[in-house]
Chain A
Amino acid sequence: MNQKGWHKQVGWLYVLPALLLLLTFLIIPFCMSVNYSFTDYNMLTPGLKKFVGLQNYIQTLTDPVFIKSLRNILQFVVFIIPIQLGMALGLALIVNKKRPGNMFFKISFFAPNVVSLTVTAVLWMYIVNPDQGLLNNLLGLIHISPQPLLTSPKQAMFVIIGISAWQGAGYQMLIFLAGLQDIPHSLYEAAELDGANAWQRFRHITMPSLRPTTMMIMTTTLIAALNLMTQAMIMTQGGPDNATMTPIYYIYRTGFTDRQLGLASAMSVIYGIVIIFFTIIQRKVEGRAQKDD
């Protein structure tokens, strides 16, 4: 074998473990899902499954709950990305200044991230409980009447957005912090001597320097946001009136609670296409931003 051919073989060998994992946990299950989505596969009667054509797809696309879940997730994405990124950047700016007790802040801001989603969701249920919750008590102190919060179809999603942002911001703060610390100090000094005040330095030095970091965080936030399930499952079970129903939770419920795996598979395929669509949009936005650079 000539050397070039040998190099090629070694290259394949290096990617083999990753390929095997991808094949086992992504490609094969995906193909199975596509296959199931054309059947009436029910977990209780796997032996009786038969081909039903596009019936599952038609049912999904005419299911008002599924449509609503798509709308919900869109609302979630639109709000959580700016809120969580803003929070993360704000926290990073706070801990980036050298001041005593900085470690305490870093740990406090990061702590929500190491606690399991389930635990924080339960804790927050106490805080946002409409009757005896801490939040309504605090609002009472500033003479705001008690809010229904998770029991209101209008407010429930916003409560979940707030909690999710609080939980996720700590991790992203660390990434922003790394980005901030990568900016050479001399740039700030040069800008200061150029007459820039603190805001102008932030606007013209910090923001553009953080652009690659921001793009990366936006991508990961988007992916995490589209997978939203735990908070909704534990705190509201998708309610009230499906106001916090998310596609993943709905797929999970259809497949594993109602045991209609065929239908759930069709939902998965459709949601997969929606995610691809989101990704394409984001790529376009990112590409344009890089061109501007």
Chain B
Amino acid sequence: MVQIDLEHVYKKYEKAKDYSVTDFNLHINDEEFIVFVGPSGCGKSTTLRMIAGLEDISKGDLKIGGKRMNDLPAKDRDIAMVFQNYALYPHMSVYDNMAFGLKIRKTPKDVIDKKIKNAAKVLGLTEYLKRKPADLSGGQRQRVALGRAIVRDAPIFLMDEPLSNLDAKLRVSMRAEIAKIHHQLKTTTIYVTHDQVEAMTLADRIVIMKDGKIQQVGTPQEVYRHPVNVFVGSFIGSPAMNFCRVHLNGDHVVSDDGSMNFLLPEGRLKKLRQQGYQGKELVMGIRPEDIHAEQMFMETFPEDIATAEVTVSELLGAETQLYTNIGNNEVVCKVDSRDYVKPGVKVKLGFDMNKAHFFDPATEMTLD
């Protein structure tokens, strides 16, 4: 059983003015797959490196299995890590790269051999064991890096943007591979990425970070459906959530230029009124997939319709992305491919106000 606890963890680099990581609190369960996601410089890699022991912790405690680890050097933490640039030993063969950690730990030779052959089989590396990293493709190198972590049988895997050096197609297949490996080994894993798709597809729980602070922790569904603030709403989901400033007038929300004027469902209205937002400004967020072009929807919700001018339309196969202007607001929507229209055409779009999100304009926190 390996649980990881980060308690009020801070990181400040020498000579830096501000903290790179501020008051980081997280409990990670055994066998859990946690993804740290956020834009560059949000402190996600720094946090991972503190767990690995590659960076000192300025304040706070890191506990693994209940034991405080702050002062334990990286080599004694028994953690396996996959680096963004793979960090394969260039002078060693694939076999020796994987064997290195085991040799250092004085594992018997036959055990090492068995483990490496198993891992190589799982990762499809059997025929490359004698090659040097320089003779491998990016995807193969990535697999060796994974293999090096797997053979160690370490209780914790850390992965620092392991797929970001691969091309798009390979990234998708390696993503599936990582998911498969975690499913088999059930090793507690912390995975750092700036790609929200990787986060959504791999994670048991996602930790969304910005400016060194945790914004939200939750399952992919939670963070997608109930973003706690504008940042999380905008970061998770592709294309990103649409935002616009509206006022709550009576039972309608109205955009500043009047181009959007939507009736709110009863429950939502009540909640906003209770919080004292009647007549006040709000930030409305709505996901592209919650904007509809079907006749059915418009007939059901006749008071949640706006007229939009299409500026760009992208046919993606099963669906179409429309980039539109509604008054002064740019709105992106994802509709059925049958509703494809050419740029320049005006269309009616229905907004599913049950799925809209509202945020306070000052704090940017959710009001749901």
Contact = CB atoms under 8 A, between A and B. Distances in A.
Nearest to B52: A193
Contacts of B74: 189, 192-193
Nearest to B91: A208
B100 A194 contact: yes
Given A189-B54, A191-B100, A209-B91, A197 B75 contact: yes
A209 to B, nearest CB: 7
Given A190-B83, A192-B54, A194-B152, A200 B89 contact: no
B104 A186 contact: no
Contacts of B100: 191, 194, 196, 204
Nearest to A185: B87
Contacts of B101: 193-195
A190 B105 CA distance: 14
A189 B152 contact: no
Interface in B68-118: 73-81, 83, 85, 87-92, 100-101, 104-105
Contacts of B53: 192-193
A184 interface: yes
A205 B100 CA distance: 11
Interface in A195-226: 195-197, 200, 204-205, 208-209, 211
Interface residues of A, number: 19
Chain A facing B: main interface SS:
helix
A54 interface: no
A187 interface: yes
A290 to B, nearest CB: 11
Listed residue (B77, B79, B91) with the most chain A CB atoms within 10 angstroms of its CB: B91
Contacts of A200: 104
Given A193-B80, A197-B75, A209 B104 contact: no
Contacts of A184: 85, 87
A63 interface: no
B75 A187 contact: no
Interface of B: 52-54, 73-81, 83, 85, 87-92, 100-101, 104-105, 148, 152
Closest A-B pairs by Cβ, 9 of them: A194-B101, A186-B87, A190-B87, A208-B91, A192-B74, A195-B104, A195-B75, A193-B81, A192-B75
Given A187-B90, A190-B81, A204-B100, 7 more contacts: A186-B83, A186-B87, A190-B87, A193-B54, A195-B104, A208-B89, A209-B91
